[in-house]
Amino acid sequence: MSRGRRLALAALAALACGGCGEVDEIVVAISTDLAVPKDFDVLQVQVFEGNQGKFNRPYRRLGESDAEAKLPATIGFFSSDAGGESIRIKVAARNKDDVGPVRILREVVTTIPKDRVALLTVSLDFLCDGSGMGAGIDVESTCGEGMTCVAGACVSNEIDSSTLPDYSRGDVYGSGDGECFDVTACFAQATPAEVDPAGCTIAGDGAALRNVALETAGDDGICDGDEGDEDRRCLVALNADSDNGFRVAADGRIQLPPKVCEQMAQGKIAAVLTAPATSCAQKTTGLQMCGPWLASGSEEP
């Protein structure tokens, strides 16, 4: 699954005239902070124009040698009529098969841009676990109509495509040299941070860049040992300067998503870890996690 799969909304036909002029296209880039196939193994992508289904495809066996998609996964939809069509995109993380249980659902309502190729990033994140409901292909957001889950919070599912950046391969796949973020190595010496539940913040480190991860209470995320190991830790790395990760506030403290503190109180998150971004680069949206699912560094992602 890659940007090589470019589909017209009207005919769902593969683009056959490469280089034939300006393209009105939106590229959907799908990533996750979980581990596949351990945490989910099927990715389902649906696109609607109005109430009419235009595209529905499950990508199975994620993380396996014969996977139908690698992550980050990109798929492009281009206009059949000079851009401007309103579309609704639903991306679901499922277990076992294409009608299996839904762990995470993201929904976006936007338009096909005019005279450019825009990038829409859709992240299937641990903090939105349980955000989908329903059976079969007919799944809906637990946030309700017109809403979707981002960083554990219910927000509007509408995104103005004029605010989206132009598509750049490097913004999705990184430098192309196979560089990735090794979660367990980068947090090997990390220690728990003291979390202020009032504002859901932790102390920063002045101007120094830091990485932040959630230690889950179960086995969700990237784990540093075998199942059953007494000292095994499973981690979810957060993206820096991101709506679905963390930001550094004006006072220098690191602002976490409020859902982090909620899940700490519920016992789903055991701790928040921080580590200096020195031996490891700072984790950002364009720096993907290392793993067998990784598409970064391929010549034709």
What's the pLDDT at 133? 87
**CA 239, 242, 246, 252: dihedral to nearest 10 degrees?**
120
Biggest CA pair distance of the chain:
59
Given its phi and psi angles, is residue 84 left (phi above 0), alpha (psi -120 to 50 degrees) or beta?
left
Q: What is the mean pLDDT of the chain?
A: 86
Reading the block at residue 12, the tokens are 């769902």
Residue 96 has pLDDT above 60, yes or no: yes
Write down the pLDDT at residue 98: 66
Instruction: Kindly indicate the confidence band of residue 21, based on its pLDDT and cuts at 50, 70 and 90.
Output: very low
pLDDT, position 9: 40
- The distance of Cα 243 from the centroid of its chain, to the nearest Å, equals 11
Which tops the pLDDT comparison, 22 or 51?
51
User: For 152-176, what is each residue's pLDDT tens digit?
Assistant: 999 999 999 999 999 988 888 876 5
Is residue 262 within 8 Å of residue 224, measured between CB atoms?
Answer: no
Q: Which of 119-123, 130-134, 259-263 has the lowest mean pLDDT?
A: 130-134
CA 259 vs. chain centroid, Å, equals 16
The string of pLDDT tens digits covering residues 187-206 is 998 989 999 999 999 998 87
Residue 279 binned pLDDT confidence (cut-offs 50, 70, 90): confident
**Would you place residue 12 in the very low, low, confident or very high pLDDT band (cuts 50, 70, 90)?**
very low
Distance between CA atoms of residues 93 and 126, nearest Å? 11
pLDDT at 3 over 90: no
Phi-psi region of 50 (alpha: psi -120 to 50; beta: other; left: phi over 0): left
What residues contact 118, with CB distance under 8 A and at least 6 apart? 25, 26, 27, 161, 164, 165, 166, 167
Phi, psi of 184 (to 5 degrees): -65, -40
pLDDT band at 4 (very low <50, low <70, confident <90, very high): very low
Contacts of 112 (CB under 8 A, 6+ apart): 9, 24, 25, 26, 77, 78, 79, 83, 84, 85, 87, 161
Give the Cα separation of 27 and 118 in Å (integer). Answer: 6
Q: How many Å apart are CA 143 and CA 66, to the nearest integer? A: 34
Q: In what side-by-side order are the strands of the sheet with 247-248?
A: 201-202, 254-255, 247-248
Return the amino acid letter for 256.
L
Res 81: pLDDT = 73
Q: How many CB atoms lie within 10 A of CB 16?
A: 7
pLDDT score for 139 = 86
Which pLDDT band, with edges at 50, 70 and 90, does 271 fall under?
very high
For residue 295, pLDDT over 70 is answered with: yes
- Domains of the chain (ranges plus CATH)? 6-173 (2.60.40.10), 183-276 (no CATH)
Residue 251 has pLDDT above 80, yes or no: yes
Distance CA 223, CA 237 (A): 11
Give the pLDDT band of residue 14 (cuts 50, 70, 90).
Answer: very low
